[in-house]
């Protein structure tokens, strides 16, 4: 299989960096976090445009990328439906289309800030924003006809394997997640065939993937092979063991799935370890996102004693990140300084100062100060 991105070795990029973050430069290579399966992270320096170029968009795989022949490929729709379907790509492409722009973040993004939590050691670049084109999932569900007994829609990818560090699992499983009926019928949930105007690449789910705007990336199942409409709650591994809250359980004792993106912001300039000129005027730049809309962002340049509003840039778009800036008069005294940003969403949620331990090594959205040196 051809991989169309170039990437740099993680250790190499760490040598040139502070706190494990890729050294900011104009390089656009993804950082290799794991070879088998392939996991790639965007360098922070490549996250400054509203749309993330596909070549800089992070890749999160649990298993090897499946090889799919689009001529042979079919999407099966079964379960609690009036008519079972087996749709070719051509048939899907002839259905009503919709474009959705949204930010997608891996639920494990920023894990390095948990200092040793198990899992891939993502810095802050397992995030990106893209324009997706596809058929709303509800169009396919309407075509099949949902029975009144249906409560969930299970979306299954064509990739499979045995998850590592899971002795209880001895046979290959596939990557699958479910949506409640209400979630599945949101017109913005797409079966996407294109990303940023081009057919999906193999790494991003060719020929068809799910896009669930406003949710962490795990909901957006790649290499979709089947849709199963179900009359009972799905309790698959990636729904109720992995990507699930530790101390929050259903009545049957299984864990509650992680779903919505929680409000978060990060600074792009300055980056950790940056050296700033004393007395200079510095344009602090960052980005904030949440499910829904960002209401405001505040910046602190005094160790989080006081906060001042940042200027939000660009238009406000649901489920999309929003850049912000803040003019800082760098103090005239040399020394170490810390800068923090904190986002608030329109649903009234504030970015927290501490990690929610119930989320385990996921949902890492707490405020992380950036340490700089004034010279
Ligand atoms: N079939 C399948 N879908 C998947 C995954 C996977 O491993 N297999 N990873 C999920 C996770 S955890 C994330 S964060 C996103 C990443 O999408 P990307 O690789 O296009 O950035 O895909 C999701 N969909
Ligand atoms: Mo993820």
As a whole number, mean pLDDT of residues 139-158 equals: 98
Give the 3-state secondary structure of residue 203: helix
Q: What percent of the chain lies above the pLDDT cut of 70?
A: 93
User: Does the pLDDT of residue 24 top 60, yes or no?
Assistant: no
Check: CB of residue 154 under 8 Å from CB of residue 176: yes
* Tens-digit pLDDT profile for residues 48-67: 999 999 999 999 999 999 99
Residue 292 is predicted with a pLDDT of: 98
Main-chain dihedrals φ then ψ at residue 162, nearest 5 degrees: -105, 120
Q: What is the DSSP string of 332-364?
A: SS-EEEEEEEEEEETTS-B--SS--GGGTTS--
Confidence label for 350 from pLDDT (cuts 50, 70 and 90): very high
Residue 255 is predicted with a pLDDT of: 96
Cα 85 to ligand 1 centre (Å): 25
Residue 165 is predicted with a pLDDT of: 83
d(CA 207, CA 157): 11
In this structure, what token pair is assigned to residue 171? 């046979």
d(CA 362, CA 38): 19
d(CA 154, CA 166): 22
d(CA 86, CA 159): 19
User: Does the pLDDT of residue 15 top 80, yes or no?
Assistant: no
d(CA 30, CA 37): 15
Residue 164 is predicted with a pLDDT of: 85
User: Does the pLDDT of residue 161 top 60, yes or no?
Assistant: yes
Residue 27 is predicted with a pLDDT of: 42
pLDDT greater at residue 27 or residue 373: 373
Ligand 1, atom 6, residue with closest C-alpha: 61
User: Does the pLDDT of residue 239 top 70, yes or no?
Assistant: yes
Residue ranges of alpha helices (H) inside the chain are 10-15, 89-93, 137-144, 181-184, 237-240
d(CA 209, CA 195): 10
Ligand 1 pocket test, pick from 31, 61, 111 with the greatest ligand atom count within 8 Å of Cβ, gives 61
Is any atom of ligand 1 closer than 6 Å to the C-beta of 39? no
User: Does the pLDDT of residue 138 top 50, yes or no?
Assistant: yes
Q: What percent of the chain lies above the pLDDT cut of 90?
A: 90
d(CA 128, CA 130): 7
Closest atom of ligand 1 to 58 CA is: 21
Question: Residues 344, 349, 350, CA angle at the centre, nearest 5°?
Answer: 50
pLDDT greater at residue 178 or residue 4: 178
Ligand 1, atom 11, residue with closest C-alpha: 218
Give the 3-state secondary structure of residue 19: coil
As a whole number, mean pLDDT of residues 322-343 equals: 98
* Tens-digit pLDDT profile for residues 259-311: 999 999 999 999 999 999 999 999 999 999 999 999 999 999 999 999 999 99
* Tens-digit pLDDT profile for residues 199-211: 999 999 999 999 9
The least confident of 18-27, 61-70, 136-145, 176-185 is 18-27
User: Does the pLDDT of residue 16 top 70, yes or no?
Assistant: no
Check: CB of residue 351 under 8 Å from CB of residue 342: yes
The DSSP symbol for 113 reads G
d(CA 95, CA 301): 52
Ligand 1 pocket test, pick from 55, 68, 220, 225 with the greatest ligand atom count within 8 Å of Cβ, gives 220
Residue 144 is predicted with a pLDDT of: 98
Question: Can you tell me which residue has the tokens 């990303």?
Answer: 195
The DSSP symbol for 87 reads E
Residue 178 is predicted with a pLDDT of: 98
Cα 75 to ligand 1 centre (Å): 18
Confidence label for 89 from pLDDT (cuts 50, 70 and 90): very high
Is any atom of ligand 1 closer than 6 Å to the C-beta of 62? yes
User: Does the pLDDT of residue 250 top 90, yes or no?
Assistant: yes
């Amino acid at each position: 299989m051809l991989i169309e991105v170039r990437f740099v070795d993680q250790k190499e990029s760490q040598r040139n960096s502070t706190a494990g973050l890729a050294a900011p430069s104009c390089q656009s290579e993804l950082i290799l976090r794991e070879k088998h399966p392939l996991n790639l992270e965007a360098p922070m320096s490549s996250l400054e445009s509203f749309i993330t170029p596909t070549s800089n968009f992070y890749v999160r795989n649990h298993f090897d990328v499946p090889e799919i022949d689009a001529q042979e490929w079919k999407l099966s729709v079964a379960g609690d439906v009036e008519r079972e379907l087996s749709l070719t790509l051509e048939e899907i492409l002839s259905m009503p289309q919709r474009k959705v722009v949204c930010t997608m973040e891996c639920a494990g993004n920023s894990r390095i800030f948990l200092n040793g939590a198990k899992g891939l050691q993502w810095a802050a670049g397992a995030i990106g924003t893209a324009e997706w084109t596809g058929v709303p999932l509800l169009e396919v569900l309407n075509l099949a006809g949902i029975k009144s007994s249906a409560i969930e829609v299970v979306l299954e990818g064509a990739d499979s394997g045995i998850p590592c560090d899971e002795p209880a699992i001895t046979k290959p499983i596939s990557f699958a997640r479910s949506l409640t009926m209400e979630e599945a019928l949101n017109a913005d949930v797409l079966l996407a065939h294109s990303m940023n105007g081009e057919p999906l690449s193999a790494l991003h789910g060719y020929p068809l993937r799910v896009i669930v705007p406003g949710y962490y990336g795990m909901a957006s199942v790649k290499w979709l092979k089947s849709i199963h409409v179900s009359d009972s709650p799905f309790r698959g591994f990636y729904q109720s063991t992995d990507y699930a809250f530790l101390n929050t359980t259903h009545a049957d004792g299984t864990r509650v799935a992680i779903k919505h993106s929680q409000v978060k912001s990060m600074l792009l300039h300055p980056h950790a370890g940056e050296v700033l000129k004393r007395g200079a005027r510095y344009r602090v730049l960052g980005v904030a996102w949440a499910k829904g809309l960002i209401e405001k962002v505040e910046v602190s340049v005094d160790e989080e004693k006081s906060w001042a509003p940042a200027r939000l840039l660009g238009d406000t778009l649901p489920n999309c990140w929003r850049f912000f800036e803040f003019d800082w008069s760098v103090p005239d005294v040399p020394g170490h300084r810390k800068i923090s940003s904190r986002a608030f969403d329109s649903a009234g949620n504030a970015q927290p100062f501490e990690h929610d331990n119930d989320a385990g090594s996921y949902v890492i959205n707490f405020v992380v100060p950036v340490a700089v040196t004034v010279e």
